[in-house]
Every structure is written in structure tokens, then in C-alpha cells.
Amino acid sequence: MRYVIDIYGVLVPALLLWIIVAYVLSAILRRLMQRFDLYRLVWHRALFDFAIFVCLLGGVVYLSEFLP
């Protein structure tokens, strides 16, 4: 795994980029769940959103191992 990514001479921690990607995916998923009224099945919405974010972040970091 790369711990630092070079973007035009600026060294950025890889985790920061993965957090941004996971947040965007989480925002899309939240909108879809809101549109189809799936939050009525959830007991604590904020806790559920945080758990989804953590799972997405873990998946993104895991999949980043396979990037060249």
C-alpha cells in the first residue's frame, strides 16, 4: 500500500484521498436510501450512516491494494 501519493509535487497522505472517495460514495448511498425511504428500517440514522461510511472506507482501502 502506498502511504503517500505525489500529486504534482505535493505529497498527500493516501488515507485522506480514500476518505474523500468513501465520503462521496456514502453521500450517494444516503441519497438513494432517502429516495427509496429505506431509512424507516433503521433504528439510529446517524449511527447507521457512520457504520456505512466505515464499511465503505474499509472497502476502498482494501481495493486500493489492487491499483497499479
Tell me the residue range of the domain where 54 lies: 12-64
Q: Which residues of 47-57 are buried (b: 16+ CB within 10 A; e: fewer)?
A: ebbeebbeebb
Residue 6 forms part of a structural domain:
no
| Predicted pLDDT of residue 6 | 87
| Predicted pLDDT of residue 1 | 60
User: Of all residues in the chain, what percent carry a pLDDT higher than 90?
Assistant: 81
| Predicted pLDDT of residue 66 | 85
Residue 45 forms part of a structural domain:
yes
Residue 58 forms part of a structural domain:
yes
- 4 three-state secondary structure: strand
Residue 4 forms part of a structural domain:
no
Residue 38 forms part of a structural domain:
yes
Rounded distance, CA 14 to CA 64, Å? Answer: 10
Residue 52 forms part of a structural domain:
yes
Task: Please identify every stretch of the chain with a pLDDT value under 50, giving residue numbers as ranges.
Answer: none
Instruction: Tell me the whole-structure pTM to 2 decimals.
Output: 0.86
| Predicted pLDDT of residue 5 | 84
Number of domains in the chain: 1
Q: Is residue 63 exposed (0-12), middle (13-18) or buried (19+ Cβ within 10 Å)?
A: exposed
